[in-house]
Amino acid sequence: MKNKKKRQKSKNMVKKHRKNRDISKSKKTKRHHKNNRKNKQTFPYVLAFDISVSIVISIIIFVSVCSFFLSIKTVEDNSMLPMIKNNRRVLVLKESKEIRRFDIVAFKNGSVLEFRRVIGLPGETIRFTEDNLYVDDQLTEEKFIFPKLDEYNKKGEVFTQSMQEENGFQVNNIPEKYYLLLGDNRPNSTDSRHYGLVEKDKIKGKVTYLLHPLEKIN
């Protein structure tokens, strides 16, 4: 009889232990499901935050890189009319290694940043005669001012004069690292005819685009 009671008591204890274990397991399962639901609810917000941080970092890096190679400047005179009007904003490619004929460059004239077109390169002899450009005695077309040349030709006037308003001028054997710069608006431009050749170290970059509206310079 006593053994029977002991066995019964033992069985009850096993049942109780199993019940407690099942209850504990059920609670753990519920907590697990609850945590899963919570994680699923917060996941989109965490993902959106991570994406936003990545975008901001990318923008900062992009702006830093662009500011190193590019700058936005404002043209503050009429020397480059009709292509670049006064107060027009332009995109400047900094520290350009290659400067070619007819590039529009930004350069320091004293404390002022100016914009002019490259006409003469180092080692060349440049001559203007009756609005014709000669580079080392070779006739070179200035297509960007053809309309103005036609207009002045019809009036019997000279578009590209010397500083003394003579019919043309000449610069012999431009020194190394110096450039002859002229404005497109020749009758009303202050340029190398007035302040001489421009040293390469003073050239800060090339104008690549006009802004507002965006327009590429060929």
Say if residues 126 and 170 touch (Cβ distance below 8 Å): yes
Claim: this prediction has a pTM higher than 0.75: no
Cα–Cα distance between 33 and 40 in angstroms, integer?
10
Nearest of 70, 63, 66, 106 to residue 88 by alpha carbon: 106
Q: How confident is the model at residue 177, as a pLDDT?
A: 95
Q: How confident is the model at residue 152, as a pLDDT?
A: 94
Q: Where are the beta strands (DSSP E) in 96-188?
A: 104-109, 112-120, 126-129, 132-135, 138-140, 169-171, 178-182
The 3-state DSSP class for residue 171 equals strand
Tokens 């053994």 map to which residue? 3
Query: Mean pLDDT by 10-residue block, N- to C-terminus, for the chain (218 residues)?
Result: 50 52 52 54 61 63 56 94 94 86 96 96 96 97 94 93 88 97 96 96 94 84
Decide the pairing of beta strands 132-135 and 126-129. antiparallel
Please give the angle made by the CA atoms of 94, 98 and 102, to the nearest 5 degrees: 95
Burial tier of 43 (Cβ tally within 10 Å: 0-12, 13-18, 19+): exposed
Q: How confident is the model at residue 170, as a pLDDT?
A: 95
User: The dihedral of CA 192, 193, 194, 196: what is its sign?
Assistant: positive
CA–CA distances in Å: residue 166 to residues 84, 154, 158, 163: 26, 18, 9, 7
